[in-house]
Amino acid sequence: MKITFTLNKEKVTINVDPMKRLLDVLREDFNLLGAKESCGEGECGACTVLLDGKPVTSCILNAIHAEGKEVETVEGISKTKLGKLIMDCFDETNAVQCGFCFPGFFVSSYYYVKTDGEKDLMKIKRALSGNICRCTGYEKIFDSVMLACERSN
Amino acid sequence: MKFIKPKDINNLYEIIDNIDRQYLLAGGTDINVQIKNGIIRNPNIIYINHLKELSGIEEENDSILIGSTTSFKDIIDSRIIKRHIPLIHSSLQNFASPLLQTSATIGGNIANGSPTADVIPILLALDAKLEICSKISCREVFLKDFFIGYKKNVMSNNELITKIIVAKNAEQKYQTFYKKVGSRNSLAIAKVAIAGLKKVENEKIMNIKLAVGSLNEYPRRLFKVEEYIMGKTLIEIDFNKVNEYLQQEITPISDLRSDKEYRYHVCVNLIRTFLNE
């Protein structure tokens, strides 16, 4: 089935099984390897991308869910001004350890800073509650989002 | 395996009237996990998430109508919901995770019919109804009458849930209560969930509605407990009696998340907490 959507601001069309997981479409058909598979059940958030501007777990979405919509991945978001600012904050606070969960945390953080941005720890925790870091480096991740909220205002 | 994307809602009714075994795909958050784990094999999939008629929240006379493929995020963010039925807004905050709230749909949570489905006890306590439609006609069914067994409901194969209907004044003059007990705040599958509404006048509990999840093969109202409590003041309530009625209405099981004794005691304690509030 032919599916057309916008991927990181660019219009794309692919011929694909509509049930193929969106995560696999991104990784295999577009070689965008930022979003990762970890649990494969929507629980860990390593595969987080934005669909029409809202964060979703791409491992339990299908190609058909992207049809006519806008998909933004860590690769696209990190090139934006706000994306760069958040990346710098993660860098400065040494929030990234093994790095596997980072693309997911980055996308959820970007969504929070962009749509809310209040420097409020509880709100940040809730916004990032769909992402799991097995290195358990949460405190530094929260620090970096707090810093990003401060800088983006 | 077949994949069908209906042109419009009438086309959808036409299709489900003609295919025997099928799965409707909306947000996909349950079905994709079931496909991955081999619980569903070679399914006939009918995609419905693009059908505008099934999505959105509107007011109509005395009712709030929620389209079945409306996402939990859209429900939580809805001004109509916040204004008229704040219980839905507040109790769904910890539904799954922010990421799943974006994809998961209210109709999907109901149709999937898990005993632990978060939204069902809340809607049961609010006396919600479902609009169920087929090619020929639509009917309304109270949610309390919808389930008939574990993951079984009254719908035929050619029907689907189109709307969730809640009265605008469903929680007017009521105090509301919701508590989900899980291992953590996000992404928890409830060990026990309870939603309640009560109307108190001169210390007398004039009306009470209690619904529980994770304690039976499908979420249920506790009608016997309600009947016993109604019309009494707090001092007049004998909690041994409450326990007795509760035992008739819940059948908790032990599983990997919790054991049945724990579930039973937590349920009793939560009812007590709500009555004392």
B39 touches chain A (CB under 8 A): no
Q: Where are the domains of chain A?
A: 2-74, 77-152
Contact between A19 and B3 using a beta-carbon 8 Å cutoff: yes
Could you tell me if B102 and A108 are in contact, meaning their C-beta atoms sit under 8 angstroms apart?
no
The CATH number corresponding to A77-152 among 3.90.226.10, 3.40.50.620, 1.10.1740.110, 1.10.150.120 equals 1.10.150.120
Task: Specify whether B70 is located in the same domain as B132.
Answer: yes
Q: Which amino acid is at B39?
A: I
Q: Which amino acid is at B72?
A: F
Answer with the one of B167, B185, B209 that is the final residue of a domain.
B167
Could you tell me if B196 and B211 are in contact, meaning their C-beta atoms sit under 8 angstroms apart?
yes
Neighbouring residues of B11: CB distance < 8 A, sequence distance ≥ 6: none
Radius of gyration of chain B, Cα coordinates, nearest whole angstrom? 19
A58 touches chain B (CB under 8 A): no
Residue B162 pairs in a beta bridge with: none
A43 touches chain B (CB under 8 A): yes
Which residues of chain A fall below pLDDT 50? Answer: none
Contact between A57 and B50 using a beta-carbon 8 Å cutoff: no
Interface test with A, best of B1, B3, B48, B99 (most A CBs within 10 A): B99
Partners of B49 on chain A (C-beta within 8 Å) are 64-65
Is B74 among the domain residues? Answer: yes
Contact between B97 and A61 using a beta-carbon 8 Å cutoff: no
Is B26 among the domain residues? Answer: no
Task: Specify whether B153 is located in the same domain as B208.
Answer: no
Task: Specify whether B64 is located in the same domain as B88.
Answer: yes
Class for the domain spanning A2-74: alpha beta
Domain count, chain B: 2
Partners of B24 on chain A (C-beta within 8 Å) are none
Task: Specify whether B190 is located in the same domain as B116.
Answer: no
A79 touches chain B (CB under 8 A): no
Partners of A130 on chain B (C-beta within 8 Å) are 96-100, 186-187
CATH number of residue B272's parent domain: 3.30.390.50
Is B30 among the domain residues? Answer: no
Answer with the one of B122, B147, B167 that is the final residue of a domain.
B167
Partners of B47 on chain A (C-beta within 8 Å) are 18, 64
**Rounded distance between C-alpha atoms, residue A103 and residue A101, angstroms:** 6
Q: Give the domain extent around B204.
A: 175-276
The nearest CA of chain B is from the CA of A67 a distance in Å of: 9
Residue B240 pairs in a beta bridge with: none
Answer with the one of B132, B167, B202 that is the final residue of a domain.
B167
Report B:100-129 residues touching A (Cβ under 8 A). Answer: 100, 102-103
**Rounded distance between C-alpha atoms, residue A131 and residue B240, angstroms:** 44
Edge-first strand listing for the sheet containing A70-72: A10-15, A2-7, A70-72, A48-51, A54-57
Neighbouring residues of B62: CB distance < 8 A, sequence distance ≥ 6: B167, B168, B169
Contact between B99 and A57 using a beta-carbon 8 Å cutoff: yes
Could you tell me if B17 and B135 are in contact, meaning their C-beta atoms sit under 8 angstroms apart?
yes
Tens of pLDDT, residue by residue, chain B (277 residues): 799 999 999 999 999 999 877 899 999 999 999 999 999 998 899 999 999 999 999 999 999 999 999 999 999 999 999 999 999 999 999 899 999 999 999 999 999 999 999 999 999 999 999 999 999 999 999 999 999 999 999 999 999 999 999 999 999 999 999 999 888 777 788 888 999 999 999 999 999 999 999 889 999 999 999 999 999 999 999 999 999 999 999 988 878 778 888 988 999 999 999 999 8
Contact between B28 and A61 using a beta-carbon 8 Å cutoff: yes
Contact between A130 and B49 using a beta-carbon 8 Å cutoff: no
pLDDT of residue A103: 97
Counted across chains A and B, CB pairs separated by less than 8 A come out at: 80
Contact between A130 and B29 using a beta-carbon 8 Å cutoff: no
The nearest CA of chain A is from the CA of B146 a distance in Å of: 27
Question: Is this prediction's ipTM beyond 0.90?
Answer: yes
For strands A70-72 and A54-57, give the pairing: unpaired
Task: Specify whether B96 is located in the same domain as B160.
Answer: yes
Contact between B45 and A41 using a beta-carbon 8 Å cutoff: no
Task: Specify whether B162 is located in the same domain as B61.
Answer: yes
Token look-up 């069914």 returns B141
Partners of B102 on chain A (C-beta within 8 Å) are 51, 54-56
